[in-house]
Amino acid sequence: MQRDELAAWLRLALTPGVGNGAARRLLAAFGLPADIFAQSEAAWQTCVTPAQARALAAVPEELEALLQTTWQWLQAEGEPARAIVTLGDAAYPPALLATEDPPLLLYLLGAPRFVHGAGPFAPPRCLAMVGSRNPTAQGAEHARQFARVLRAAGLTIVSGLALGVDAAAHEGALLDAPDPDTPATIAVVGTGLDRVYPRANKDLAHRIARHGLLVSEYPLGTPPLPANFPKRNRIISGLSQGTLVVEAALQSGSLITARMAAEQGREVFAIPGSIHAPQSRGCHALLRQGAKLVESAEDVLEELRLPAAAPAPAGDAPDATTPAQQEVLQALGFDPLGLDALVARTGLDAATLQVRLLELELDGRVARLPGGLFQRLGAA
């Protein structure tokens, strides 16, 4: 992209009062942004309102500074690679282009082979995974394990780099050796790509940039504004064949993503959880509305008509539990439980029980929760 072309796209995106819909009408009528700004106000008014036409005639004050910053960002050498894909670009993701409100610009940061190779969105097989920022231990483990298995089946995992389920899904997709041909995971963020939010996920963002892609529709320098995060959810669902909700409360932003996926004609999946957990109520609501119930990764693959993932190598399989450990797991069930309740269920003394729980915790079969509770962990 040449500097003049970038300037015209940024001017169109920055023009106040001209949203994506009006910009698309202008692009359809006049061609590229440079051709749009060569027209008269009278010509613009055939596509937009008089107020929007007046706004188009004025050059935004912040354009020059943003142009300079963006051009320098694009010219940076080394890794990760940077690029901007425009709505008129052949590399623009077809799945997103088919949605009602595709962004004008997509800023990309990632491995050079994906940013500059056959096309950053060449692989059509993507699955969105979203959920609570405060998941249960079981929910976080589900996100990691489902993402790992689904990635092994050839799906690119798309999420939003938020705390909780999003981060666990990205981590799960990155667990195994990277595929040189497809991104392991795509993080769609609600800030400019020169910022990482939340800061706790900075290291994770750097790993994604090495083995996948970071994507944003927002200009460089955009801070984490609350309104931007629900808006970016349409990109998460729009890039994907389906959306899997791992855990979600009734007012969760994950339900916004699921609704957008349904409106875009994509599949919606939900993992059921405990009837006692607030983080499961959003998933249960989705299931009542017709979402596909998911108990294993194979359920997702079957619905998307994809082959099952290859079984994990024997060395990756967890060690078999001893009869003594199995007794504790059976008593624990799958809901959080305190030590006193476990003592009553098993008849074991507290010291013996704590030793067995520690062994199970080290094996990744049990999680220790706040408040002295323990929860059994399942697998994908």
Q: How far apart are CA 376 and CA 125, in angstroms?
A: 32
Residues 6+ apart with CB under 8 A from 135: 143, 164, 165, 168, 246, 247, 279
| Residue 305 amino acid letter | R
Q: What is the mean pLDDT of residues 129-144?
A: 93
Residue 146 pLDDT greater than 50, yes or no? yes
In this prediction, residue 7 carries a pLDDT of 98
In this prediction, residue 171 carries a pLDDT of 98
Residue (of 124, 128, 174) closest to 152 by Cα position = 174
In this prediction, residue 318 carries a pLDDT of 47
| Higher pLDDT, residue 370 or 294 | 294
- Parts of the chain belonging to CATH 1.10.150: 1-64
- Parts of the chain belonging to CATH 3.40.50.450: 126-314
In this prediction, residue 327 carries a pLDDT of 87
Q: What share of the chain is helix, strand, coil (3-state, %, to 5)?
A: 45, 15, 40
> Strands 156-159 and 185-188, how do they pair?
parallel
Q: What is the mean pLDDT of residues 125-138?
A: 94
Estimate to the nearest angstrom the gap between the alpha carbon of 179 and the chain centroid.
19
3.40.50.2000, 3.30.56.10, 1.10.10.10, 1.20.120.790: which CATH number matches 320-376?
Answer: 1.10.10.10
- Parts of the chain belonging to CATH 1.10.10.10: 320-376
pLDDT tens digits, residue range 332-377? Answer: 887 788 888 888 888 888 888 888 888 888 887 888 877 788 888 8
Residue 313 pLDDT greater than 50, yes or no? no
Residue 147 near residue 157, CB atoms below 8 Å: yes
CATH hierarchy code of domain 126-314: 3.40.50.450
Residue 302 pLDDT greater than 50, yes or no? yes
Number of C-alpha atoms within 13 angstroms, CB side, residue 234? 14
pLDDT tens digits, residue range 92-121? Answer: 999 999 999 999 999 999 999 999 876 667
Q: How far apart are CA 147 and CA 142, in angstroms?
A: 8
pTM: predicted TM-score of the whole model, two decimal places: 0.85
pLDDT tens digits, residue range 67-91? Answer: 999 999 999 988 899 999 999 898 8
CATH hierarchy code of domain 1-64: 1.10.150
Burial class (CB in 10 A: 0-12, 13-18, 19+), 208: buried
